[in-house]
Amino acid sequence: MTLKENISLALRAIRANRLRSMITITIIAIGLMALIGILTAIDALEGSISSNFATLGANSFSIRNFNEISDGDETPKPAISYKEATNFKKEYQFRSAYVSISSVFIRGSATVKQADKKTNPNVDVLGVDENFITIGGYTISSGRGFSATELESAARVVVLGSDVAKKIFTEKDNPIDKGISINNQYFRVIGILEAKGSSFMQSDTRVLIPLTTARSVFPQAGIDSYVISVGVDNPADMEPAIGDATGLMRQVRKLRIGEEDDFTISKSDSVVNVMIDNLKYVAFGAMFIGFITLIGAAIGLMNIMLVQVNERTREIGVSMAIGANRATIRSQFLIESIVICIIGGICGILLGIFIGNFVALALNASFILPWLWILVGLTVCVITGVAAGYMPARRASKLDPIEALRYE
């Protein structure tokens, strides 16, 4: 009997036992849907995280008084003062590296107004220098960034995040050179940042002002510490640049030989790696859920196939009487089991791709087709079908033809 004929027989048997077959197919589909759905969402999120963090300044590192990717239990080290940050920037001379100094002067509580429109009191105000936008991987959608002259003169100019600009200006307005107020302090808009979305290190509800201006306008802000960011043009220069920065920062902080560093240096890609590593635990959880569900489906399918053998005993006897050998009977029931698993697997994979990408798109990740997981899912379905169908198929093939024909 050919493979095509066996598949045709399997489909007829499935139609003849719709309820039992559909229950098994549904269980298999749910298992594959959970597995493929979660893994698809994770793959989409990993790609989104990598691409988003690449725009943060892939060839850069930051010097802080705390580890930005710790679990929150770490005690912050002594604050990096403005003098220490400016001394570092002045003395750091590594090849083509460029340095930026920044700090959050108002965290999530500023209100930005323009005429009769204003934002909610949830805006971050960052004091930055002329290199911050470049090193941070930001893009100016309109206008420009800060100049060195504006830093020196503590000019009252501001670059708005996209959400802030949308809140206080209409689409017909040109915000450039318009006056706004930040906590009742006047500023002139010189640029608008391109939207990036809210994430671990980014937000469109922030405004940037010159660092010197922030120190004079908001002297009571009580900032925690300054952040030094360093960018390099060549990725190969990253480690040597970090080495030079570590040595210079120890000098700036007046640390003696043998003393531990009282600051932390982190590369932009280290944040990505930590976040992606954490997603792996979710992937393992999805695999475990899918595995347990498929075991249940395999047991249910095995029971259904054993019932099928009992109900079709006379049919098996007739097949043997007209020449079907044991291998033919065995392959017939095995293929039937595999077909049920594949039907359930295809349904589960399609639902998993849809749900996984729906979750990913809701989290601003891109649509993907996880070809690797599709192949894995189909392979798992075939293995499950063979495992569940082997015992019933073997039992059917060992029936005595005469006894099978006499079976009522």
Asked if the model's pLDDT at residue 57 lies above 60, the reply is: no
Contact 227, 62 (CB under 8 A): yes
Between 55-69, 175-189, 200-214, 245-259, the lowest mean confidence (pLDDT) is in 55-69
Task: Tell whether pTM > 0.75.
Answer: no
- Domain coordinates in residue numbering, the chain: 3-52+273-405, 57-268
Give the pLDDT score at 157. 96
Tokens 């705390």, residue located: 66
Give the pLDDT score at 200. 46
- Distance between CA atoms of 169 and 229, rounded to whole angstroms? 31
Q: For residue 237, what pLDDT band results from cuts at 50, 70 and 90? A: confident
Contact 88, 228 (CB under 8 A): yes
Instruction: Kindly state the average pLDDT of the residues 236-250.
Output: 91
- Distance between CA atoms of 348 and 263, rounded to whole angstroms? 50
- Distance between CA atoms of 331 and 139, rounded to whole angstroms? 63
Total Cβ atoms within 10 A of residue 260: 8
Write the single-letter amino acid at 209: I
Q: For residue 58, what pLDDT band results from cuts at 50, 70 and 90? A: low
- Distance between CA atoms of 4 and 10, rounded to whole angstroms? 10
Instruction: Kindly state the average pLDDT of the residues 70-78.
Output: 63
pLDDT tens digit sequence for 345-393 = 888 889 888 888 887 777 667 777 888 878 888 888 888 888 888 888 8
Contact 189, 158 (CB under 8 A): yes
Contact 245, 239 (CB under 8 A): no
Residues in the chain: 408
Give the pLDDT score at 209. 96
The CA distances from residue 26 to 9, 221, 347, 392, in Å, are 21, 59, 8, 21
Total Cβ atoms within 10 A of residue 276: 15
Residue 159 CA, distance from chain mean position: 29
Read off φ and ψ for residue 197, nearest 5 degrees: 85, 165
